[in-house]
Amino acid sequence: MRVIVDTSAFIALDRIGQLDLLRRLFGSVVRPQAVLDELLAGGDAHPLSTFLTGAEWIQTEPNPKSSSLRPELGRGETAAITLAYESHADLIVLDDLQARLVASGLGIRVTGTIGILLAAQKNGFGPPVDEALRLLDAAGFRMSAELAAAFRRL
């Protein structure tokens, strides 16, 4: 299964100590170089684990050549969506609503950080819902009250 992951999901999962859920769910994941660049650029303000930048199961691929989708999307989101589209990825992990809409509009199957946490729970691992919500809140992950309520229901 080919899974492309964007910057925000890597950061959120790393900050709550759950980055390994991606490996446990998918074996390996892919990020474009632009996502790694964003992770490294933000590392001074928000230190990341060395696991995030050096894990063997996270492959970094060159940025796609065609990379103009929507001006409101960031460089990492654009590269991730384009890479997912061009490589016929099975799934893309994105949290930004505009990016999710663009990817869905291109026919790419989309999930986000919450979807990863739910999938892990359904597979018998990952933190309980209340703990995951508390960790995400403490890490500064923004989500609507509706999304948090839906997460609790699921």
Q: Taking the model in full, what pTM does it have? A: 0.89
Residues in a beta bridge with 29: 58
Residue 82 contacts by C-beta under 8 Å, 6 or more apart in sequence?
A: 32, 64, 66, 67, 69
CA geometry: angle 23, 63, 91, nearest 5 deg? 40
What's the CATH superfamily of 3-112?
Answer: 5'-nuclease (3.40.50.1010)
Domain boundaries, the chain: 3-112
Low-confidence ranges of the chain (pLDDT < 70): 43-46, 66-69, 154
pLDDT, tens digit (0-9, with 9 covering 90-100), for 45-88: 667 778 788 899 999 999 988 666 677 788 999 999 999 999 99
User: How far is the C-alpha of 24 from the C-alpha of 103, rounded, in Å?
Assistant: 24
Tokens (6 digits) for 55? 């894990």
